[in-house]
Amino acid sequence: MIRTLLVANRGEIACRVFRTCRDLGIATVAVHSDPDAGALHVRRADAAVRLPGAAPADTYLRGDLVVKAALAAGADAVHPGYGFLSENADFARAVLDAGLVWIGPPPEAIEAMASKTRAKKLLGVASLERVTAGDLPVLVKAAAGGGGRGMRVVRELADLPAALEAARAEALSAFGDGEVFVEPYVEGGRHVEVQILADTHGTVWPLGTRDCSLQRRHQKVVEEAPAPGLPQRLTESLYETAVRAARATGYTGAGTVEFLVAADGTAHFLEMNTRLQVEHPVTEALHGIDLVAQQIRIAEGAALDAEPPRPRGHAVEARLYAEDPAAGWTPQTGVLHRLAFPDGVRVDTGYADGDTIGVHYDALLAKAVAHAPTRAEAVRALARALESAAVHGPPTNRDLLVRSLRHPEFTEGRADTGFYDRHLAALTAPPPGEAYAAVAAALADAAARPGPGAWRNVPSQPQTKTYNGHEVRYRRTRDGHTLDDHPDVRVVSATPAEVRLDVGGVVRPYRVTAYTDPRTAHAAHVVHVDTPTGSHRLTPRPRFPDPTVRTAPGSLLAPMPGTVVRVADGLREGARVEAGQPLLWLEAMKMEHRVTAPASGTLTALHAAPGHQVEVGTLLAVVSPAQEEDQE
């Protein structure tokens, strides 16, 4: 029996495993990097061991340090979570060699499925070896790893060499393995997967299907179980392949077999993930089981029942990320002031109010899961929970999630992996009602700063405040506040925390929370306005902008905090560049972001080099536009 378990991971998944351990009466041990010293998963554990450093390569990817931590803390088992070392066969062996229990499949099974090319051969699925114009489009993929890293879609044969080079470089950086392969790219396909659970006595459960088609950059955003609209014959075929993959590798524990289902119903094997998946909660909700508890029991030698529990209803999960979808899914950092969801949904998170979202790791804030008797009810409940949640801090993809869940393609079960390619612009448009939220923010601020005399009998100049480009002009009167530019709005009441507005005869409350800039400790840095029909993140325009903030024409500033991982080959000061030409790549929160030339011209300064850590606004390079050169 396992008494003390170390989770070789961080954040949400570490907290998730700890929760099950508490239910089972198992003591817990966390490991943490220096930036994670005060993280929620560390605070939730019974003991914690420091892994010196910040970068994953120096901390969470150091299997030798993790094993030493487990032994030092007196743990007798290790759970890898997902990501990091979860699919590393050498780490699994090191855990077992140290006399510890490994909560996962045998190292040999991990090894068999670690390379997508080897996995395809094992299951008799060939990958494309030669590419001709008739094969296009194709997908270049890293043989190791996942999460969208080392993947490129190629639609023109001339683009293939550059795509191969970029995919190899990214795969080598992310997984230490630069092997890539090419396979047909299925347009309009659905990402469908089968959860399996296998014990050490020969029983393998196919635990239903999941649809994970809503993806950005080949990373999942919304998942559901069961996959809607699959013919029974296709479902049974997917089950058969998943069970065959498990038996072929002597698999034990939890795993996932992934497929791409084309519009004509043809299923293409993608890969097998030899670990717990991020989206496992929808399967848990559907079947009424705890997959982490099952993993632990299987590792202890327990046998599964002959048949898996029957599914019940429908479950949907949405991943809340600190990112700006409208700006190329740029990761965001800063203080998460508040994160609160209404009752009725499951929320898995690695953050608590007041925690800081850093630059070193994944941008996932939380996973929200709704379960209901029908798909329509589950989708409706999840959309409403996200809409009414309080998410105060950096920009997030919350509005995108709500709109995605309510989009006809999704509600009708027709969404595929190209969903965001088609609809991103509409899904990221400014939220409706933002102008009224700005009115509420201005009036709440006025209520918090009552002026002398409160009101005047003689006409006065209006007070003016601007939020997100919305200018609000208001006056104080004997009867309260009046608005100069919103004749359709009547101010019912205004306090620093809540403003009630009558808009066209409908009265709604606007809950206002202003957060100060820690650097100034007085001026509102960001204002969150929560309403029954949505929330708004507003940035006030300062009355007196800082005159020292200047940038030279052609300056290329870091759009996010991160690490410079690559600079374009041969790029040096004095080189001619074209508008849109990739100059360098930043890695932030496990994603690579390409930084391009803002205009055609000459690179007159280059301040970035591989390995450099940069903050938002750091000067990376300067490009003198061709027009300026001609004038000179």
- The residues that are catalytic are 275
DSSP-H helix ranges across 320-389: 375-388
DSSP lists the bridge partners of residue 542 as none
The three state secondary structure string of 14-71 is HHHHHHHHHHHCCEEEEEECCCCCCCHHHHHCCEEEECCCCCHHHCCCCHHHHHHHHH
Query: Which helix (DSSP H) or strand (DSSP E) does residue 67 occupy?
Result: helix 63-73
SS3 374: coil
Distance of CA 495 to the CA centre of its chain: 36
Tokens 């998944």 found at:
13
**Residues with Cβ < 8 Å from 430, sequence gap 6 or more?**
468
User: What's the CA gap between 281 and 296, in Å, rounded?
Assistant: 16
Locate 428 and state its tokens. 């990221």
Strands 534-538 and 524-531: antiparallel
Comparing CA positions, the residue from 632, 570, 561 lying closest to residue 606 is 570
Strands 338-340 and 334-336: unpaired
Comparing CA positions, the residue from 8, 96, 76 lying closest to residue 45 is 8
Query: Which helix (DSSP H) or strand (DSSP E) does residue 244 occupy?
Result: helix 232-249
Q: How many CB atoms lie within 10 A of CB 411?
A: 16
Question: 137: cis peptide before it, omega within 30°?
Answer: yes
Residue 27 is classified by DSSP as E
Long-range contacts formed by 566-572: CB under 8 A, 24+ apart = 566/169, 566/173, 566/610, 567/606, 567/608, 567/609, 567/610, 571/603, 571/606, 572/603, 572/606
DSSP lists the bridge partners of residue 576 as 602
Contact 286, 226 (CB under 8 A): yes
User: What's the CA gap between 15 and 351, in Å, rounded?
Assistant: 9
Phi-psi sector, 628: left (phi>0), alpha (psi -120 to 50), beta: alpha
Report how many helices (DSSP H) and strands (DSSP E) the chain contains, helices first: 16, 38
User: What's the CA gap between 334 and 392, in Å, rounded?
Assistant: 10
Question: Burial of 50 by CB count in 10 Å (0-12 exposed, 13-18 middle, 19+ buried)?
Answer: middle
Contact 518, 530 (CB under 8 A): no
User: What's the CA gap between 626 and 586, in Å, rounded?
Assistant: 26
